[in-house]
Chains A and B, each alone.
Chain A
Amino acid sequence: MSDDNKMTIIATKGTFDWAFPPFIIASTGVAMDKEVTIFFTFYGLNLLLKDTSKLKVSPIGNPSMPMKMPFGPKWLQKIDFGPKIPNVLWNIPGAESLVTWMMKKTMAKHGVAKIEELRSMCQEFDVKFIACEMTVELFGFDKSDFIDGVEFAGAAMYFDEASTGYHHLYM
Chain B
Amino acid sequence: MARAVSTRRTAVFTIAAWIVALIIFFPILYTIVTSFKSETEAIKGFNLIPSGTVESYAAVQAQSNYFKFFLNSVVISVGSTLLALALAIPAAWSMAFSPTRRTKDILMWMLSTKMMPAVAVLVPIYLIFRDTGLLDTRFGLTVMLTLINLPIVVWMLYTYFREIPGEILEAARMDGAGLLQEIVHVLTPMAVPGIASTLLLNIILAWNESFWTIRLTTTNAAPLTAFIASFSSPQGLFWAKLSAASTLAIAPILIMGWFSQKQLVRGLTFGAVK
User: Does B bind A?
Assistant: no
Point out residues on A near B: beta carbons under 8 Å: none
